[in-house]
């Protein structure tokens, strides 16, 4: 009951009123707590996102992915001597659009790079005007020189670490080894032929840089760089030096335009030396014309002249219509056939086949060729590897050329027999003579060292009897009755052939321009090496193969046999015994 009004209050209303208020309070509290939780969560999320954003922004300015350049594989000779090796270098680059240096900084940078400050600013201004965002200031700087520039700590000057190729033997092995370009890619020689083998696999790492762009520390390696694979050549640098020296001296002495020397191991086909003149320094190409870069021993073709007369003799013996001791009448020292007159220097009279080679008689070879068909001649020459690549896998190797299928004009068959109307390389000629050195089987040339268990089998070309017969005739060429007495090597039996070929100029053969060469092998009893010496256009008109090329052969091959420790087969003088002992000691080292 209400005391004031005297009215009774219903019991239900009196009970519900307090309960309803409590619920409202609880509900309001929950709403407040929920709002606070949501606010806290939103604040947390906002803070987290901001932190991630700030971190990403910071990383974008300080963390970089850097390429780790891989070093190129090393090239060595057969005894482990370095022929090509990579050394670390540094390149400096900038963004021309953002670079801003004060005058003192420009001067210091120019001095550090060895470039005038004014010229440097001009280059960068020109790059900026062209809209370039990247410009190398200087590439492949030696680490010591680079450190001086890095010490300046100039903002915007970036660095790139890479490698530069160096060639310890310089021009001595340049034509074989070749060279790389500024990006360390092979562009000549074996550097080009085996570029994929020698090239390494770049890696990558993440680094932390300071505000000046300098690397503070490495964060992680994403992928490790893998260096290229090494290459072991067949070259013996000692023999290569010898060939280079003697060839260069001969070119200078006779005022010749160029020349080549190739030295082959008869059994394995390994190329122990391959030298050319003129040469070039792969460590400094300033002023070097393209003509100096090519490896003439495998790229240049020439008519072989008298050096292929032994092949004609072999073809004649193979027909069965001629014997080694058969007499051929060369009188009166000339013959007129097919409208042409073919002459010898003098009347040699009646000669056997060995005498024809020893005197290098054009008339005698012509008499043999008269009785042979084009197929008989060309077939033998082709079996000797002429007109086809040697398989040495050197960039730009020339295949040579043989005349097309018969019939040929008669004069073409006759001149072909003594070395005109076909073209060969110096290396092809060396390969061909391994047939006579190996008793009728030809070696496959290789610029890479061939493990003993992987030496390819020799290719049969001639019957052993014919090959040995011609080899015996080739010994006569070097004896007193022959044209190549200057090719003799004290203590060793030598077999070989001279050649002097006039050059084709403007469609006719020029008497004032010729090639002089000698090709042979030693020691003749058990031939170890075959070598070719080619001298292109000696100044003296009478400077033939016997006078110019034969002495180079003697000095190169004689020295090579001593270095390789090959025993003499003609007796030993005290001096020769000492030289041989020194060679054996060097070979063992």
Low-confidence ranges of the chain (pLDDT < 70): 1-22, 26, 39, 41-63, 209-218, 571-589
Give the DSSP per-residue string, 493-518.
--EEEEEEEEEEETTEEEEEEEEEEE
Which of 71, 86, 306, 446 does the annotation list as catalytic?
Answer: 306
DSSP 8-state code for residue 208: E
**Which pLDDT score is estimated for 205?**
74
DSSP 8-state code for residue 210: -
Give the DSSP per-residue string, 130-162.
TT-S-EEEEEEE-HHHHHHHHTT--TT-EEEEE
**Which pLDDT score is estimated for 152?**
85
DSSP 8-state code for residue 22: H
**Which pLDDT score is estimated for 104?**
85
Backbone angles phi, psi at 72, to 5 degrees: -80, 150
Give the DSSP per-residue string, 404-456.
-SSP--HHHHHHHHTT-S-BB-HHHHHHHHHHHHTTSEEPPPBSB---GGGPP
**Which pLDDT score is estimated for 351?**
96
Q: Which two tokens stand for residue 3?
A: 């005391």
Q: List, in order, residues 6 or more apart from 286 with CB less than 8 Å away.
A: none
**Which pLDDT score is estimated for 460?**
97
Candidates 545, 481, 485; CA nearest to 517 is 545
| Pair 524, 238: CB distance under 8 Å | no
Candidates 91, 283, 292, 291; CA nearest to 183 is 91
Measured between alpha carbons, how far is residue 402 from residues 368, 371, 379, 411, 518 in Å? Answer: 19, 20, 10, 15, 21
| 3-state secondary structure (DSSP) of residue 165 | strand
DSSP 8-state code for residue 391: S
**Residue whose token pair is 């915007």:** 156
Domains and CATH numbers, the chain: 68-98+108-232 (3.90.1310.10), 237-588 (3.40.710.10)
Phi-psi bin for 400: left (phi > 0), alpha (psi -120 to 50), beta? Answer: left
Q: Is the model's pTM score more than 0.85? A: no
What residues does 588 pair with on adjacent strands? none
Q: CA-CA distance, 586 to 566, in Å (whole number)?
A: 12
Candidates 297, 295, 277, 273; CA nearest to 560 is 273
Q: Which two tokens stand for residue 353?
A: 């086949």
| 3-state secondary structure (DSSP) of residue 264 | strand
| Pair 576, 559: CB distance under 8 Å | no
**Which pLDDT score is estimated for 583?**
47
On the 0-12 / 13-18 / 19+ scale of CB atoms within 10 A, 295 is buried
360 catalytic residue (yes or no): no
């Amino acid at each position: 009951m209400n005391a004031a009004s005297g009215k009774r209050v219903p019991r239900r209303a009196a009970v519900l009123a307090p309960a309803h208020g409590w619920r409202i309070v609880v509900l309001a509290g929950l709403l407040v707590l929920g709002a606070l939780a949501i606010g806290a969560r939103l604040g947390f999320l906002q803070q987290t996102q901001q932190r991630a954003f700030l971190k990403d922004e910071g990383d974008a300015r300080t963390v970089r992915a850097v390429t780790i350049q891989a070093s190129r594989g090393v090239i060595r000779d057969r005894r482990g001597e370095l022929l090509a090796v990579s050394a670390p270098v540094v390149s400096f680059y900038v963004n021309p659009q953002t670079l801003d240096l004060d005058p003192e900084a420009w001067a210091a940078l120019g001095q550090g790079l060895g470039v005038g400050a004014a010229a440097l600013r001009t280059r960068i201004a020109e790059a900026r005007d062209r809209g370039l965002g990247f410009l190398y200031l200087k590439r492949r700087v030696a680490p010591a020189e680079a450190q001086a520039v890095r010490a300046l700590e100039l903002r915007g000057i970036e660095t790139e670490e890479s490698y530069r190729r160096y060639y310890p033997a310089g021009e001595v092995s340049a034509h074989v080894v070749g060279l790389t370009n500024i990006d360390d890619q092979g562009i000549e020689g074996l550097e080009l032929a085996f570029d994929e083998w020698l090239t390494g696999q770049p890696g990558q790492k993440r680094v932390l840089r300071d505000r000046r762009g300098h690397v503070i520390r490495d964060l992680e390696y994403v992928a490790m760089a893998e260096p290229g694979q090494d290459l072991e050549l067949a070259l013996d640098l000692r023999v290569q030096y010898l060939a280079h020296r003697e060839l260069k001296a001969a070119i200078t002495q006779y005022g010749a335009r160029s020349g080549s020397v190739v030295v082959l191991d008869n059994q394995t086909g390994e190329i122990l030396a391959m030298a050319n003149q003129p040469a070039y320094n792969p460590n400094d190409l300033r002023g070097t014309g393209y003509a100096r870069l090519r490896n003439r021993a495998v790229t240049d073709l020439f008519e072989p002249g008298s050096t292929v007369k032994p092949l004609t003799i072999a073809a004649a013996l193979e027909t069965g219509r001629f014997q080694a001791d058969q007499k051929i009448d060369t009188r009166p020292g000339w013959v007129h056939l097919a409208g042409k007159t073919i002459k010898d220097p003098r009347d040699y009279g009646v000669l056997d086949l060995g005498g024809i080679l020893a005197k290098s008689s054009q008339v005698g070879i012509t008499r043999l060729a008269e009785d042979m068909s084009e197929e008989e001649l060309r077939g033998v020459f082709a079996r000797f590897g002429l007109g086809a690549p040697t398989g040495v896998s050197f960039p730009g190797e020339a295949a040579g050329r043989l005349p097309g299928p018969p019939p040929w004009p008669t004069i073409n068959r006759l001149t072909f027999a003594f070395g005109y109307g076909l073209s060969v390389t110096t290396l092809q000629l060396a390969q061909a003579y391994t047939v006579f050195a190996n008793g009728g089987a030809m070696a496959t040339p290789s610029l890479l060292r061939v493990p003993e268990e992987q030496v390819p089998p020799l290719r049969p070309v001639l019957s052993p009897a014919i090959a040995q017969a011609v080899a015996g005739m080739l010994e006569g060429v070097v004896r007193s009755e022959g044209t190549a007495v200057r090719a003799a090597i004290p203590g060793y039996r030598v077999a070989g052939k001279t050649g002097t070929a006039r050059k084709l100029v403007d469609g006719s053969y020029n008497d004032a321009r010729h090639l002089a060469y000698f090709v042979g092998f030693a020691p003749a009893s058990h031939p170890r090496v075959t070598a070719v010496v080619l001298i292109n256009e000696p100044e003296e008109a009478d400077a033939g193969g016997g006078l110019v090329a034969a002495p180079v052969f003697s000095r190169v091959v004689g020295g090579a046999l001593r270095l390789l420790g090959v025993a003499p087969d003609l007796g030993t003088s005290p001096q020769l015994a000492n030289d041989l002992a020194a060679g054996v000691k060097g070979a063992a080292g």
